[in-house]
Structure 1
Amino acid sequence: MTPVIRFYSIQDAYGEFSNFAPYPILLDKKRWPTSEHYFQAQKFLDANVQERIRSASTPLLAARLGRDRKQRLRADWESVKVSVMRRAVEAKFRQHDDLAVLLLSTADARIVEHTDADAFWGDAGDGSGRNMLGRILMDIRTILQTERRK
C-alpha cells in the first residue's frame, strides 16, 4: 500500500510543502517572499497590482489581495493557473536544496494537500478534491529523482 503524506499548515509535518511556507523564490527577475505571493500576483496583468501583492507582509495577505475581485483577473487565468503554480513550486524546490531533499525523502508516497477549504488545489478534506498542488509536488519529485539518478 502506498503511503500518504498529508500537509496543510506550515506548523505541521511537511508544512514546508505549503505555499505559505517562508521560502523566497526568484522568478521574473524579482524576489517573491513565498510561492503564494508569486502565484497570487500572476492572476493580474497590472504591474501595480502584482507589486502590491509581491510586497504584502504575509502570504495570507497576498492570498487575500489575489482573491480581491475588484481587480480584473487576466482573461486566460483558468487556462494558465496550473502552469503558473507549477512554475512557482518548481522554483521553490530548485532554489532551496533542503526542500528538494525533503521532497525526495518522500520516495513514492502520495502527497496530499489536506484541507476542506479547497477542492481544486487540495483534497476537499474528504479525498474528493483534485489535489492539484499535491500532484504538482509529486511531478516535481519525479523530475528531481530522474535528474539525481543521472
Structure 2
Amino acid sequence: MSFPRGWPEDPGTLVLRNEFPAPIVIGDRTYPTVAHAYWVLAVVDEQRQAEIIGAERPHDAQKLAGDSTLRGDWPQVRVAVMTRLLRAKFQQHPEFAETLMATGATRLIYTELGSTFWGERGLEGRNWMGRLLELIRSELVAAELNVLQ
C-alpha cells in the first residue's frame, strides 16, 4: 500500500496497517513502523539492521531485509514476533487501539499484495495479520472492561 502524497489526513482504519507511521519502542530501539521492526528482527547482520531502521519507507526496509540473511528460526518465531510488535503498537498508541476496538467483533481481512501468509487476496491467503489484529482487539477490550482482573 502506497500513498505518494503521504497518508490521508484522516487515515481511519489505515492506522491498523504495519506500514502506518507509528513509532514503537522495543527494548532500547525505536522503530519508525511495525514493518521496520519486523524486518530488523528478521535479519542477522547488525549493520543491515541499522540500515533497515533508517530506511525511508517500509517497502525499502522489506527490500533490504530480502537481500539479507534471515534468522534460521524465522519461520518458527515470526508470528510471535509480530504479535509482540502489534501489542507494543497498540499499547504505545492508545488512539490506534481505539480505532482497532471500534471494529467491534468484525472479522478483519488484511489485504496484503505480497504475502498470502500475512494477508488475503480474494479467496487465497492465511490472513495471519487479520487474526492477530482480532486477538489484540480482544485483549484490549478485555483489559478495558477489567474482565481478567
TM-score range, shorter chain: 0.7 to 0.9
Question: Which is richer in strand?
Answer: 1
5+ unaligned residues in a row in structure 1: which ranges?
1-7
**2:40 maps to amino acid:** A
Tell me how many residue pairs correspond in the alignment.
140
Matches of 1:63 and 1:130, distance apart in 2: 20
Pairwise CA distance, 1:145: 0.7
Match of 1:107 in 2: 104
Tell me the amino acid that sits aligned with residue 26 of structure 1: V
Structure 1 length-normalised TM: 0.87
Q: Which residue of 1 aligns with 2:114?
A: 117
SS at match of 1:82: helix
Higher relative CO (CA 8 A, sep ≥ 6), structure 1 or 2? 1
TM-score with structure 2 setting the length: 0.87
Is 1:96–2:87 an aligned residue pair? no
Distance 2:140 2:74 in 1: 27
Gap regions ≥5 residues in structure 2: none
Q: What is the SS of the residue equivalent to 2:109? A: strand
Q: 1:147 aligns with which of 133, 143, 149?
A: 143
Measured at CA, do residues 38 and 115 of structure 1 come closer, stay the same or move farther in structure 2, by a change above 3 Å? closer
Aligned to 2:18: 19
Give, in whole Å, the separation in 2 of the partners of 1:29 and 1:115.
Answer: 29
User: Alpha carbon RMSD of aligned pairs, Å?
Assistant: 1.6
